[in-house]
């Protein structure tokens, strides 16, 4: 461990296993610039860095006790709190009580309040969705979320609004006898600073794209056979950047999909065009002729200095040109992605980005709060430059929400990730009739997903609520070599049990 990490370490000791993830996520939300280490032990723990609190969590038969020692000016301060539990109390209830206690202590110590309270899961809308299905009122749901998770009125209202909209949209989907198809294209023009997805520079793989498509076609043939009695609701081709493929390669892939699968019930066919420097009229024509109904043109920001910093080697002007090309090609459902909390961006930059986007008038807008992933180059950048230049606030979130509504959009899906800038969320906004159905399905885990390509994760849902997954290998060369094994994994997952 480096000296810098030692000085920015918060050590937490807990004497009972099973709660480490939730403890880590909550402490990290209050101290985003620090490394958090949770140790399950009854022994003396590693001390936190200078000026940071030492935390100890003790489970007994009757209570959870938390002690917090914080270094202030002069002598250290000590705080101790407890909450009652019983031996027969369900684990979710114990977890909620632990998190409430920890939240109250850290909030008092730091003076901070988190917009999502103690919620650390990635799917906040699952709670109101479940309660709506039970016939609960908006008031009942809001009270439960505030009492149980200390969620703010604003975020509680957002979660309920989206859950109601999702519930209505999902009523048209074939859950038990349906499925959705995901196809991953793991190539990009360059790797963005914040990216942790399975992606490789296309320049290194140009000569082997044909082999990759060979492997994908084998997986498509498996799906055609193994899912022939199911209804295909949505297709999503993501990555990476699918439009790093040349127009003939896109036509080949889309042609295989159209000739192999029954698309007669298809509600949505999305391709992430993504990077402006990968979009050409020929590729857009190939997508249109291949039956694609929804695409993304993703700037992330309309500030050129930020684009240069994060490694997106295209200009703001190219984004505008790519969007215009997509409209000229006949696409009437175009999404744009933005990221809030990018390095050195201020509220004024976000406001300018929204104004530029409004001038283009997309059909949907997905607003991401920057999530700092260990596997991304952003982690190294933060170590060298500090986290203070990543600013995502209520103001910047409000700018994008107001901008989306000014374009006639409403929020329709929501999810959260670990280590999000400002501890906020990702929200999808869209005009009526332009909602991204696949996005809702993948977030709410309502349907089986057959996922093809390097690093893709297939998902099977059971009637009792269980979910099982199988993952393709991430390495492209190994995926090509082991394609028969990848297919066998899916066959084993989806065969009747």
pLDDT of residue 444: 85
As a whole number, the mean pLDDT across the chain is 90
Q: Give tens-digit pLDDT for 6-46.
A: 468 899 999 999 999 999 999 999 998 788 999 998 765 66
* Integer Cα distance of 197 and 189 in angstroms: 14
Q: Give tens-digit pLDDT for 339-352.
A: 998 888 999 999 99
| Mean pLDDT, range 433-443, rounded to an integer | 93
pLDDT of residue 434: 96
Closest by alpha carbon to 341, among 241, 424, 406, 404? 424
Bridge partners, 37 (sequence order): 11
| 23 and 66 belong to one structural domain | yes
Bridge partners, 68 (sequence order): 55, 79
Among 92, 126, 161, identify where a domain stops: 161
Bridge partners, 232 (sequence order): 179
83 in any annotated domain: yes
Q: Which two tokens stand for residue 186?
A: 């793991």
pLDDT of residue 76: 59
Q: Give tens-digit pLDDT for 103-156.
A: 999 999 999 999 999 998 788 999 999 999 999 999 999 999 999 999 999 999
Q: Give tens-digit pLDDT for 355-396.
A: 999 999 999 999 998 876 665 666 666 666 666 667 788 899
| Mean pLDDT, range 198-213, rounded to an integer | 86
Domain, as residue range, for 465: 172-485
| 105 and 139 belong to one structural domain | no
Handedness of CA 342, 347, 348, 352 (dihedral sign): positive
pLDDT of residue 2: 41
Phi, psi at 94, each rounded to 5°:
-60, -45
pLDDT of residue 121: 79
Q: Is the pLDDT of residue 195 over 70?
A: no
179 in any annotated domain: yes
| Mean pLDDT, range 79-102, rounded to an integer | 94
Q: Give tens-digit pLDDT for 270-314.
A: 999 888 989 999 999 999 999 999 999 999 999 999 888 878 778
| 151 and 256 belong to one structural domain | no
DSSP class of residue 343 equals B
| 311 and 202 belong to one structural domain | yes
Q: Is the pLDDT of residue 197 over 80?
A: no
Count Cα neighbours of 106 within 13 Å in the Cβ-side half-sphere.
27
pLDDT of residue 480: 97
| Mean pLDDT, range 55-84, rounded to an integer | 82
Q: 45-59, 90-104, 473-487: which range is least confident on average?
A: 45-59
pLDDT of residue 456: 96
CATH number, position 421? 3.80.30.20
491 in any annotated domain: no
269 in any annotated domain: yes
pLDDT of residue 191: 65
| Mean pLDDT, range 327-338, rounded to an integer | 97
| Helix (H) / strand (E) containing 411 | strand 410-415
pLDDT of residue 314: 84
| 245 and 323 belong to one structural domain | yes
167 in any annotated domain: no
Closest by alpha carbon to 471, among 454, 447, 446, 483? 454
| 228 and 257 belong to one structural domain | yes
CATH number, position 86? 3.30.160
| 105 and 130 belong to one structural domain | no
497 in any annotated domain: no
Phi, psi at 199, each rounded to 5°:
-150, 150
| pLDDT bucket at 70, cuts 50 / 70 / 90 | confident
pLDDT of residue 221: 98
Q: Please, which residues have CB within 8 angstroms of residue 81's CB and are 6 or more apart in sequence?
A: 65, 66, 101, 104, 105
C-alpha dihedral, 353 to 120 to 122 to 92, nearest 10°: -160
* Integer Cα distance of 386 and 474 in angstroms: 30
Helices 316-328 & 347-360 angle (0-180, nearest 10)? 20
Count CB-CB contacts under 10 A for residue 254.
21
Do residues 271 and 287 make contact, with C-beta atoms less than 8 angstroms apart?
A: yes
| 118 and 94 belong to one structural domain | no
| 107 and 125 belong to one structural domain | no
| Mean pLDDT, range 320-324, rounded to an integer | 97
The separation between CA 432 and the C-alpha centre of its own chain, rounded to angstroms, equals 23
322 in any annotated domain: yes
Q: 5 or 25: whose pLDDT is higher?
A: 25
Angle at 130 between CA 338 and CA 104, to 5 degrees: 70
* Integer Cα distance of 429 and 436 in angstroms: 9
In percent, how much of the chain has pLDDT > 90? 70
Do residues 30 and 53 make contact, with C-beta atoms less than 8 angstroms apart?
A: no
| 183 and 241 belong to one structural domain | yes
Among 78, 94, 112, identify where a domain stops: 112
| 106 and 124 belong to one structural domain | no
In the chain, the number of structural domains is 3
| Mean pLDDT, range 194-203, rounded to an integer | 68
Q: Is the pLDDT of residue 83 over 80?
A: yes
Q: Is the pLDDT of residue 68 over 80?
A: yes
492 in any annotated domain: no
DSSP 53-98: -EEEEEE-SSEEEEEEEEE-SSSEEEEEEEEE--TTS-HHHHHHHH
The conformational region for residue 386 under phi > 0 = left, psi -120 to 50 = alpha, else beta, is: left
| 266 and 395 belong to one structural domain | yes
In percent, how much of the chain has pLDDT > 70? 90
pLDDT of residue 45: 60
């Amino acid at each position: 461990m480096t000296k810098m990490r030692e000085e920015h370490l918060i050590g937490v000791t807990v004497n009972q296993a099973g709660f480490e993830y939730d403890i880590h996520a909550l402490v990290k939300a209050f101290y985003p610039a620090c490394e958090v280490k949770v140790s399950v032990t009854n022994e003396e723990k590693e001390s936190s860095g200078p000026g940071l609190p030492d935390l100890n969590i003790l489970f007994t038969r009757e209570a959870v006790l938390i002690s917090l020692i914080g270094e202030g000016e002069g002598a250290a301060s000590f705080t101790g709190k407890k909450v009652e539990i019983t031996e027969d109390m369900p684990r979710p209830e114990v977890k909620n009580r632990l998190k409430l206690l920890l939240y109250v202590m850290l909030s008092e110590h730091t003076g901070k309040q988190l917009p999502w309270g103690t919620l650390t899961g990635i799917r906040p809308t699952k709670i109101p969705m479940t309660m709506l299905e039970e016939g609960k009122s908006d008031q009942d749901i809001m009270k439960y979320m505030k009492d149980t998770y200390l969620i703010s009125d604003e975020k509680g209202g957002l979660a309920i609004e989206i859950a109601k909209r999702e519930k209505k949209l999902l009523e048209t989907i074939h859950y038990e006898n349906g499925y959705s198809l995901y196809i991953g294209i793991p190539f990009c023009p360059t790797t963005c600073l914040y990216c942790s997805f399975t992606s490789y520079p296309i320049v290194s793989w140009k000569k082997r794209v044909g082999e990759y498509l060979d492997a994908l076609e084998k997986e498509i043939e498996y799906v055609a056979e193994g899912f022939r009695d199911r209804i295909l609701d949505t297709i999503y081709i993501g990555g990476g950047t699918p439009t790093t493929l040349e127009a003939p390669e896109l036509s080949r892939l889309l042609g295989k999909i159209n000739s192999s699968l029954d698309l007669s019930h298809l509600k949505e066919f999305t391709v992430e065009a993504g990077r402006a420097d990968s979009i050409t009229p020929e590729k857009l024509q190939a997508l249109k002729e291949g039956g694609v109904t929804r695409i993304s043109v993703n700037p992330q920001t309309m500030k050129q200095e930020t684009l240069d910093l994060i490694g997106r080697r295209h200009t703001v002007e190219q984004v505008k040109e790519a969007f215009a090309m997509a409209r000229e090609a006949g696409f009437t459902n175009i999404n744009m992605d933005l990221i809030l909390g990018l390095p050195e961006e201020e509220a004024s930059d976000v406001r300018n980005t929204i104004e530029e986007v409004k001038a283009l008038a997309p059909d949907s807008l997905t607003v991401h709060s920057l999530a700092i992933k260990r596997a991304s180059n952003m982690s190294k950048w933060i170590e060298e430059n500090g986290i203070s230049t990543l600013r995502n606030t209520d103001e910047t979130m409000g700018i994008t929400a107001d901008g989306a509504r000014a374009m006639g959009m409403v929020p329709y899906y929501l999810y959260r990730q670990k280590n999000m800038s400002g501890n906020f969320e990702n929200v999808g906004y869209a005009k009526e009739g332009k909602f991204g159905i696949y996005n809702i399905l993948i977030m709410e885990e309502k349907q089986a997903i057959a996922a093809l390509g390097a690093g893709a994760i297939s998902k099977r849902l059971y009637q009792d609520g269980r979910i099982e997954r199988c993952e393709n290998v991430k390495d492209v060369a190994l995926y090509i070599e082991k394609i028969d094994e990848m297919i066998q994994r899916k066959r084993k997952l989806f065969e009747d049990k």
